[in-house]
């Protein structure tokens, strides 16, 4: 493949990006008529395996898992910026794991990386490893949002991690959302791109319906400001959406969302029925999304790892440059209407940049104009139906094809009371969002067809493949059913109705471990911190983090690992005397709350 030679960055480095303490980036405005050269970026999320993962294989991975090295090899193309979309490092993104796995795979481009955190970054309490690794490149420490200019584009990095923005609020009126509105108001660039970890829209088989409401405010703010592109990951597949508004309706002035969870960790299947406005998707290919950000337009190309062939390519104009194309009137007038823009030739800024450098840099195929998808012919699912832009919807090796019916199910879906064939196929689930180890939870199912057999499926990290955990049972006459579950660790679950192609939307149950600690003085200023976590088997290797403070200032941080018997131990030598407060946390679910941590103090002498 022919590629232009690497060139000096025209944006992130050469422009002197300043990450201000507020999270904004202050840059001088270019001269009035100067058009910046197109810049090239690459992006993906869900990247590096845990070094204890059996598929890690000393960093080489396998054919189906831990492909972070293969995706990292795609980054040696002189990109102006690389945008890691969160979950850079599994399972807990400690600085040791980041340096062991992520750094060798993706670290060569660290100087031009502009990341956002994911939920696995926060499994290391406070995302300490993430902020330590990136420093000011990740925005203000503890916040993780910032913005910068790149050529003729304004890019906004937001902190939208899972679960449910528990660590940094995404809600209306929060510090982050207020900063976002102010940043958008100050933006003078003609095109804008925003990115964070969890997508609002996805066809993922394990999609959480809470994602829709969680990022409603972000989408409203971005749409009102004419933002062009949103990039996300979290769900382990690739997907491109048509422009849509915050209500999820197709809109020529809307935002185009890309989901790029193909960075290497693993792949998870898609629903047989795609989400509204989904134009192209694939769940069988690792790779990165390459984007060319030009003056008034942008182009994209999904670049697969070596040995895989799926791709998706297109170009389109930015919202502030593109004329709105109204649908033709059913009864057009024969006389010209008084249009406020009678000129038959749009200005150069009102159409996509025709320069080849404004589209993804590849000479293997001709430049694509307009919005189009280019899946490899060999990967198009036969008889798939729907848009011609849809790429194959395949599952990673070892998992069931998305949408396949369970054994013994009816090949067709029976219509529900409303006459809709899908009625009753995706019943609602209700259950507490959190529990403690050993305390069962009842999952209430409602809205199913009466008498239909329903099974409960679930998975727990690091596995991402659903398995049946409760056998099929018939729903009652009112379409309800109850399952009792007692998982030993946090899990994601859903139900599948017999005879239906797709499962229900999934929900997350956060399971709080039981953690004990005792402190023993062994010598002058020497102490042993030890304890046990339950359940033991599911927590082997988990980090127990201890934060020590004196007078409100953190003075020390230690990490102990859980052994095979569920115990952990940390030997600490203090350099000073006095009373030290400390917090010990599991690094799971939520940080420094009653659910996962305990605050105590020790007198050091």
CA distance 150 to 113: 13
pLDDT at 350: 35
Query: What share of the chain has pLDDT > 70, as a percent?
Result: 71
CA distance 569 to 514: 16
pLDDT tens for residues 277-310?
999 999 999 999 999 999 999 999 999 999 999 9
Q: Is there a contact between 571 and 528 (Cβ–Cβ < 8 Å)?
A: yes
The pair phi, psi for residue 275, each rounded to 5°, is -65, 155
pLDDT at 85: 98
pLDDT at 258: 98
pLDDT tens for residues 21-51?
334 433 333 333 356 678 999 999 999 999 9
CA distance 531 to 360: 54
pLDDT at 513: 73
User: Residues 193-214: what's their mean pLDDT?
Assistant: 84
pLDDT at 138: 97
Give the helix ranges, DSSP H, for 168-236.
175-186, 210-214, 216-224
Query: What share of the chain has pLDDT > 90, as a percent?
Result: 43
Terminal CA-to-CA distance of the chain, rounded, Å? 66
Q: Which residues of 530-543 are buried (b: 16+ CB within 10 A; e: fewer)?
A: bbbbbbbebbeebb
Q: Is there a contact between 289 and 302 (Cβ–Cβ < 8 Å)?
A: yes
Give the helix ranges, DSSP H, for 395-472.
none
CA distance 457 to 429: 12
pLDDT tens for residues 467-524?
888 999 999 999 899 999 888 777 888 899 988 888 887 777 777 777 777 888 899 8
pLDDT band at 456 (very low <50, low <70, confident <90, very high): very high
List, in sequence order, every residue forming a beta bridge with 571; answer none if it has no partner.
528
> Measured at the alpha carbon of residue 410, what is the angle toward residues 405 and 415, in degrees to the nearest 5?
105
Is residue 106 predicted with pLDDT exceeding 90? Answer: yes
Is residue 345 predicted with pLDDT exceeding 60? Answer: no
User: Residues 532-552: what's their mean pLDDT?
Assistant: 73
Helix (H, G, I), strand (E, B) or coil at 498: coil
pLDDT tens for residues 557-592?
777 888 888 888 888 888 778 877 776 666 433 333
List all residues 6 or more positions away from 138 whose beta carbon is below 8 Å from its beta carbon: 115, 117, 130, 131, 144, 146
The alpha carbon dihedral of 379, 382, 384, 389 has a sign of: positive
User: Residues 74-96: what's their mean pLDDT?
Assistant: 95
Most confident among 114-123, 222-231, 263-272 (mean pLDDT): 222-231
Mean pLDDT computed over every residue of the chain: 76
In this structure, what DSSP letter does residue 348 have?
A: G
- State pTM to two decimals: 0.57
């Amino acid at each position: 493949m022919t590629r232009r030679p690497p060139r000096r960055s025209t944006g992130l480095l050469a422009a002197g990006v300043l990450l201000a303490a507020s999270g904004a980036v202050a840059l001088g405005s270019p001269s009035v008529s100067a058009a910046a050269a197109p810049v090239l970026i690459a992006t993906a999320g869900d990247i590096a395996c845990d070094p204890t993962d059996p598929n890690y294989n000393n960093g080489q991975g396998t054919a189906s898992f831990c492909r972070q090295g293969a995706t990292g090899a795609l980054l040696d193309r002189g990109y102006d910026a690389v945008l890691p979309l969160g979950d850079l490092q599994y399972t807990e993104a400690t600085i040791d794991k980041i340096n062991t796995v992520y750094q060798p795979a993706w670290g060569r481009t660290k100087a031009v990386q502009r990341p956002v955190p994911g939920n696995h970054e926060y499994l290391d309490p406070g995302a300490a490893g993430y902020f330590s690794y990136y420093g000011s490149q990740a925005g203000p420490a503890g916040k993780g949002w910032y913005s910068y200019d790149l050529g003729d584009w304004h890019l906004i990095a937001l902190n939208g991690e899972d679960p449910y923005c528990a660590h940094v609020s995404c809600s209306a009126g929060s510090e982050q959302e207020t900063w976002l509105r102010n940043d958008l108001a100050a933006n003078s660039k003609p095109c804008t791109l925003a990115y964070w970890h969890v997508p609002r829209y996805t066809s993922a088989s394990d999609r959480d319906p809470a994602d829709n409401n969680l990022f409603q405010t972000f989408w409203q703010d971005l749409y009102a400001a004419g933002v062009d592109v949103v990039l996300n990951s979290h769900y382990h597949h690739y997907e491109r959406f048509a422009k849509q508004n915050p209500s999820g309706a197709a809109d020529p002035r809307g935002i185009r969302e890309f989901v790029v969870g193909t960075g290497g960790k693993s792949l998870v299947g898609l629903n047989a029925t795609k989400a509204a406005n989904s134009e192209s998707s694939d769940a069988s290919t690792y790779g990165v999304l390459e984007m060319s950000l030009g003056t008034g337009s942008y182009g994209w190309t999904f670049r697969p790892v070596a040995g895989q062939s799926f791709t998706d390519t297109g170009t389109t104009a930015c919202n502030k440059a593109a004329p709105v194309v109204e649908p033709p009137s059913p009864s057009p007038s024969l006389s010209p209407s008084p249009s406020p823009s009678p000129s038959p030739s749009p200005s150069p800024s009102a159409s996509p940049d025709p320069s080849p450098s404004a589209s993804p840099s590849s000479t293997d195929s001709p430049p694509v104009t307009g919005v189009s998808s280019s899946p490899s012919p060999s990967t198009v699912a036969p008889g798939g139906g729907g848009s011609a832009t849809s790429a194959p919807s395949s599952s990673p090796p070892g998992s069931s094809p998305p949408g396949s019916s369970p054994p013994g199910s009816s090949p067709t879906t029976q219509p529900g009371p409303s006459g809709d064939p899908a009625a009753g196929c995706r019943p609602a689930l209700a259950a507490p969002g959190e529990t403690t180890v050993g305390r069962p939870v009842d999952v209430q199912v409602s809205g199913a067809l009466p008498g239909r057999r329903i099974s409960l499926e679930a998975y727990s990290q690091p596995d991402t493949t659903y398995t049946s955990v409760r056998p099929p049972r018939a729903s009652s006459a009112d379409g309800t059913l109850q399952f009792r579950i007692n998982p030993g660790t946090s899990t994601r679950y859903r139900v599948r109705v017999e005879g239906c192609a797709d499962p229900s939307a999934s929900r997350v149950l956060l399971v709080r471990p039981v953690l004990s600690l005792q402190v023993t003085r062994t010598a002058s200023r020497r102490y042993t911190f030890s304890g046990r976590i339950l359940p033991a088997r599911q927590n082997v290797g988990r980090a127990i983090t201890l934060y020590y403070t004196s007078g409100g200032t953190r003075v020390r941080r230690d990490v102990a690992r859980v052994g095979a018997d569920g115990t952990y131990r940390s030997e600490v030598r203090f350099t000073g005397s006095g009373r030290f407060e400390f917090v010990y946390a599991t690094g799971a679910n939520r940080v420094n709350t009653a659910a996962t941590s305990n605050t105590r103090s020790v007198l050091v002498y």
